[in-house]
Amino acid sequence: MGKRINWIDNARGICTFFVLMAHCTTSPQFYNFIYTPFFLMLFFFISGFLFSTEISVKQHLKKLIKGLITPYFILNIIIIIIGIDNWKAIFNHNWPYIINKCYDIILGYDLWFVSCLIIVQIFYTILTSISQKPKYKLLIGILFLPTVYLIRNTNSFILPWYINTACFALSFYSFGNYFKDLYKANNNIHRLLEGKKKSIYLLIGYIIIAIVMQIYLPMEFHVAYNYYESPIYFIILAVIGIITIVCISINFPLKYFIELGKNSLTVFAFNGKALAITLILTQPLNLIAQNPYYSSIIICFIQSIILLFLGKLINKYIPFIVGKNKSNK
């Protein structure tokens, strides 16, 4: 699957924008209700869709090293170099601070989603080396869902490389790979997903369900920490949300989201720096003090433009830091 798939980039771009929203302190709770139950699991689902069972374990590992492991370490080193707090620590001879930073990188605690995805891909590569049958992939997804109950954590405890989170995320990754088999082999799946009116109705239905469930049911969750107050409710919302965004992405392709999806790794790595720049640029407008329902979207949009510009520079001059070749845009 070397050729890029527009709806995949579109879906990834939508979720990448939600990453910006999640880190925007002015984003209202109403928006959080809508996207937080599914956007991270959709990333795992998409990654699973793009996983190829037609190459060997050795080829998978080479691809993983180039596409995620090498970028993980390079990007973290860059983040340390450009971090003002890190330079302050060096000038103040605060070596324990710097050592802890390096320690976090080695144990996979920084850029948590990337380190977690690395573990998920390693697990799935090993498991699918046994069998590539669609039913087996579906079985993997089902069998790993209960790990959310077996390895539940509080915010104070995380396994290195987010292994506990990876066990649960593996289910959605596996479902994504299973869905690819269905999508390629069954035209009925295409017909079910196509239709603009259907997509809009589905989106409205999901928003209503998501808001009602999170208001009236115990729904606190923290994906990074693998903590879910009610895992079954989270799984239900995540599945409905994934189906909704897949439909929206197929029927409403937008170049903005497609481009954002192509640069998702750049966004993961540098969204914090871009947000700081955005807040400085928009300070004269006093956006934070205004209505958060539109100010948060404006802030995230400006932030995304900065990151898209940065992504273009990276893709042109140093694409290897995000796992790309110069031919990949």
Helix (H) or strand (E) holding 227: strand 227-228
Q: Phi first, then psi: give them for residue 30, nearest 5 degrees.
A: -55, -45
Residue with the two structure tokens 């590569």: 125
- pLDDT number for residue 14: 97
3-state secondary structure of 153: coil
Spell out the residues 6+ positions from residue 61 whose beta carbon is closer than 8 angstroms to its own.
Answer: 125
User: What's the distance, Cα to Cα, between the start and end of the chain in Å?
Assistant: 15
- pLDDT number for residue 162: 93
Residue 136 near residue 130, CB atoms below 8 Å: yes
Q: Phi first, then psi: give them for residue 206, nearest 5 degrees.
A: -65, -45
- CA–CA dist 46, 49 (Å, integer): 5
- CA–CA dist 52, 132 (Å, integer): 10
- pLDDT number for residue 50: 95
Domain map of the chain by residue range?
A: 6-322
Q: Distance between alpha carbon 45 and the CA centroid of its chain, in Å? A: 9
Instruction: Number of helices (H) and strands (E) in the chain: give both, helices first.
Output: 17, 2
3-state secondary structure of 222: strand
- pLDDT number for residue 134: 85
Which residue pairs, CB below 8 angstroms and at least 24 apart, start in 227-232? 227/152, 227/153, 227/154, 227/155, 228/148, 228/152, 231/148, 231/149, 231/152
3-state secondary structure of 306: helix
- pLDDT number for residue 230: 87
Gyration radius (Cα) of the chain, Å: 20
Give me the tens of pLDDT residue by residue for the chain, a chain 329 residues long: 457 889 999 999 999 999 999 998 888 888 988 999 999 999 999 999 999 988 888 999 999 999 999 999 999 999 999 988 889 989 999 999 999 999 999 999 999 999 999 999 999 999 998 888 888 999 999 999 888 877 665 555 788 999 989 999 999 999 999 999 998 888 788 888 889 999 999 999 999 999 999 888 877 888 888 888 888 999 999 999 999 999 999 999 999 999 999 999 999 999 999 999 998 988 877 776 677 788 889 999 999 999 999 999 999 999 999 999 876 55
- pLDDT number for residue 1: 43
